[in-house]
Amino acid sequence: MKITRIANGRVIDPANQRDEVADLWLADGKIIAPQPGTETETIDAANIVVAPGLIDIHVHLREPGQSHKETIASGTRAAAAGGFTSVVVMPNTSPTADSAATITWIKEKAANSACVNVFTTGAITKGLKGEELAPYGSLFNAGVVALTDDGRCVQNHEVMRRAVEYARMFGLTVMDHCQDYSLVGDGIMHEGEWSLRLGLPGWPRAGEEMIVARNILLAELLDSPIHCQHISSGGSVRLIREARARGVKISGEVCPHHIALTDAELAAFDSNFKMNPPLRALEDIEAIIEGIADGTLTILCSDHAPHAAYEKEVEIDHAPFGITGLETQFATFHDILVHKRRAIDLPRLIALYTSEPAKLLKLDRGTLSPGAPADITLIDPNLDWTFDKNASLSISKNTPFHGHTWRGRAVRTMVSGETVWSLS
Amino acid sequence: MTAWTRKDLTGLDELTAEEIIFLLDTARAFKGVGERSLKKVPALRGKTLVNFFVEPSTRTRTSFEVAAMRLSADVVNISATASSLQKGETLKDTALNLQALHADIIVLRHSSPGSSKFLAERLDSSIINAGDGAHEHPTQGLLDIFTIREKFGKIEGLNIAIVGDILFSRVARSNIFGLLKLGAKVTLVGPSTLVPKRFEKLGVRVSHRIDEILAEADVVNLLRIQHERQRKEYFPGLGEYVALFGLTKARAEKLKPSCLIMHPGPINRGVEIDSEVADGKQSVILEQVTNGIAVRMAVLYACAGGAGLPS
């Protein structure tokens, strides 16, 4: 039997408040208690951080139906190259993942072609139309870990209320893409000085905050969890902070572009800076970083949204929203939050990608406890590197970060004890 | 030494004051051409200009066409209905086809902000922005500035009011960017929905009372006001607009005698401007049209014909 010793690394396991230089032992795809002298393989991890495999709860892998943008095979390879051992995929595929049949198809495809764990989500409403509830019972039995209409937002508050109420029966968290359609209209960038200057339709902060506030009220009314996806506005952070202080089961996640870039980037009309919700102002970045630091925002994720070059290379108001992010997100957050701003320390950064998402979605992952699956990410926090989109493992290259240099990156990714990617 | 090295004109926001002055001076030299009996110079002989209008326009297209003909360029007009954009071809592909036809200059009118810049970055042809959504209409901005400069001999220090639907106006944006670079004091006037206070971040003043600005204005530039589908929630109707912001005869009497009344056209008589005021002696609306040709000649010549003034 193969017994692996990852030697002399800085083992950081936030779920167990562990941060020490030690050996980590694996056998049979699981973490095991140390068994000195029995190892058949040794991985040297001196000066390297040994962390639970990172989890990204917000990823679009585009299958079924849009395999020209990404496949489960290519997307999970990109995930592995970013240090991720688990991804949670969004249901806005074609067909929509609103039935057990589609969930089963995705899981089978993942079993055959994915190199990291793929967790599925089901739609809140049939066809993401915001009208009728999808069959949560059969979706749950098929294995979904959450419900979301991501990319769309349920506008009818009664439908959302019943969705959250019904989902509770299965212990499923409802995740919401917060966007009020009447306020946002055809907005494609943050409403502010730059939208005025560029003549592009504005997407005001209130378009997000309105729905965050709605979700807080419903979470409170129903005493059930609602998770707000990709928070972009400082006002949303304040709403969530106040609600959490009162014990409301509301949570929020952050994507790297929302703290790395501002709306001023749109000046070149490059659609690789167009995503939904949009890049906002410096004051939003400050509020979001503060929210991450004080525990208001508990999840980091990519919203990896691949699109083909020919789809993106059109007039900016015709281009689809979204950018890739699986390979760049950890480095972006590490560089900004830990290295440059010192807003949080490395163990907390790892928690935001492991123990926190595992807790939110009740995943059997995100820890180095003996007996847990041996999903492990080795990280070199001192490595400076530059991202080249042409070297990306994603099929699509729609990234705003080509040529960016950051400090810190994953150097090896292990799923169930097997190395699925390592920095060559 | 030349002040102009660009192959494209996509907006006034990216130009320096020196570049704007260069275009205005070049336009002044070209204006004389139109006043001769033989209205033609050989500056762009052998060059092909494509008027590529993906959004309807008669006056801007015609103005570019006349400007190109006076420079001896060959002109082809392509409009949205005739173009294959209707058949699902992308803007990039259509433009690459135009380039393959060896179009030296493409004049683009398109509903998407940034569409001219999009083409300018991808084609070797000169791209001239004839209006990109609500973003910019740089030749309109230049002709407005040219007209003001011709009357006052300067731009710096003038009080210029732009009245109307600023939020959706590419004409307003090009005027704001150009006028501020040349030192004018710009005041935007209109309902708070169409002229939000946030515009002050661009360096202008915002007013919601036209009567406040009449006495001090050196120029009042009125924009066409529309109350169509997408404007319904911005203001209650044209009647209230006229009452609050229309340049009525009574209001026009409060203007300085030297104050210019401008309008990019087409005018709505009795809406943003009273009919008699439009025809009055302070109105320079038709001079704007004439100057538009000279300004467009200067832009075409600068971008595609090399720099320097014509002899």
Cα–Cα dist B248/B251, whole Å = 5
B43 DSSP assignment: T
Is B201's Cβ below 8 Å from some Cβ in A?
yes
Q: Would you say B125 and B106 are in contact if contact means Cβ atoms under 8 Å apart? A: yes
List CB contacts of B203: < 8 A, sequence separation 6 or more. B180, B186
Cα–Cα dist A310/A360, whole Å = 37
Own/partner pairs for A399-403, CB < 8 Å, 24+ apart? A399/A272, A399/A323, A399/A324, A399/A325, A399/A328, A400/A257, A400/A261, A400/A265, A400/A270, A400/A272, A400/A273, A400/A323, A401/A260, A401/A328, A401/A332
Q: Would you say A132 and A96 are in contact if contact means Cβ atoms under 8 Å apart? A: no
**One domain, residues B56 and B190:** no
Kindly state the helix (H) or strand (E) to which residue B94 belongs, with its residue range: helix B91-100
Q: With a threshold of 0.90, does the pTM exceed it?
A: yes
**One domain, residues B84 and B110:** yes
Would residue B7 count as lying in a domain? Answer: no
**One domain, residues B187 and B266:** yes
Q: Would you state the pLDDT for residue B83?
A: 61
Inspect the interface and report whether the beta carbons of A269 and B110 lie closer than 8 Å.
Answer: no
pLDDT by residue for chain A (424 residues), tens only, comes to: 899 999 999 999 999 999 999 999 999 999 999 999 999 999 999 999 999 999 999 999 999 999 999 999 999 999 999 999 999 999 999 999 999 999 999 999 999 999 999 999 999 999 999 999 999 999 999 999 999 999 999 999 999 999 999 999 999 999 999 999 999 999 999 999 999 999 999 999 999 999 999 999 999 999 999 999 999 999 999 999 999 999 999 999 999 999 999 999 999 999 999 999 999 999 999 999 999 999 999 999 999 999 999 999 999 999 999 999 999 999 999 999 999 999 999 999 999 999 999 999 999 999 999 999 999 999 999 999 999 999 999 999 999 999 999 999 999 999 999 999 999 8
**One domain, residues B222 and B106:** no
Would residue B119 count as lying in a domain? Answer: yes
**One domain, residues B160 and B285:** yes
Of A235, A286, A237, nearest to A260 (Cα)? A286
Q: Domain total for chain B?
A: 2
**One domain, residues B271 and B296:** no
Would residue B11 count as lying in a domain? Answer: no
Residue segments in chain B with a per-residue pLDDT below the cut of 70: 1, 81-87, 229-230, 306-311
Q: Counting every residue, how long is chain B?
A: 311
Is B170's Cβ below 8 Å from some Cβ in A?
yes
Would residue B159 count as lying in a domain? Answer: yes
The residue among B174, B198, B232 with the most chain A CBs within 10 A of its CB, best to mutate, is B198
Q: How far is A390 from chain B (nearest CA, A)?
A: 20
The residue among A189, A190, A196 with the most chain B CBs within 10 A of its CB, best to mutate, is A196
Is B117's Cβ below 8 Å from some Cβ in A?
yes
**One domain, residues B63 and B143:** no
Cα–Cα dist A311/A318, whole Å = 9
**One domain, residues B150 and B271:** yes
Inspect the interface and report whether the beta carbons of A318 and B173 lie closer than 8 Å.
Answer: no
Would residue B310 count as lying in a domain? Answer: no
Kindly state the helix (H) or strand (E) to which residue B53 belongs, with its residue range: strand B48-53
Which residue is closest to B110 within chain A, CA to CA? A315
**One domain, residues B145 and B121:** no
Cα–Cα dist A56/A214, whole Å = 25
List CB contacts of A20: < 8 A, sequence separation 6 or more. A10, A11
Of the candidates A192, A193, A318, the beta carbon closest to that of B112 is on A318
Would residue B23 count as lying in a domain? Answer: yes
Q: Would you say A379 and A410 are in contact if contact means Cβ atoms under 8 Å apart? A: yes
Q: What is the CATH number of the domain that holds B221?
A: 3.40.50.1370
Of the candidates B118, B173, B202, the beta carbon closest to that of A315 is on B118
Q: Would you state the pLDDT for residue B35?
A: 87
Q: How far is B14 from chain A (nearest CA, A)?
A: 10
Would residue B225 count as lying in a domain? Answer: yes
**Three-state secondary-structure class, residue A98:** coil
Q: Would you say B15 and B299 are in contact if contact means Cβ atoms under 8 Å apart? A: no
Of the candidates A192, A198, A313, the beta carbon closest to that of B135 is on A198
Q: Would you say A118 and A106 are in contact if contact means Cβ atoms under 8 Å apart? A: yes
Phi, psi values for residue B196, rounded to 5°: -65, 150
Domain that holds residue B77: 17-136+292-304
Of A2, A43, A6, nearest to A22 (Cα)? A6
Cα–Cα dist A223/A298, whole Å = 19
Of the candidates B114, B168, B201, the beta carbon closest to that of A269 is on B114
Cα–Cα dist B288/B157, whole Å = 21
Would residue B107 count as lying in a domain? Answer: yes
- Residue with tokens 């562990």, as numbered in its chain: A18
- Is B107 exposed, middle or buried (CB count within 10 Å of its CB: 0-12, 13-18, 19+)? buried
**One domain, residues B145 and B118:** no
**One domain, residues B29 and B117:** yes
ipTM of the complex: 0.93
Domains of chain A, earliest start first:
53-368+394-399 (3.20.20.140)
**One domain, residues B33 and B142:** no
Is A309's Cβ below 8 Å from some Cβ in B?
no
Q: How far is A314 from chain B (nearest CA, A)?
A: 7
Active site residues of A: 303
Q: Would you say A49 and A346 are in contact if contact means Cβ atoms under 8 Å apart? A: yes
Number of other residues whose CB lies within 10 A of the CB of residue B191: 20
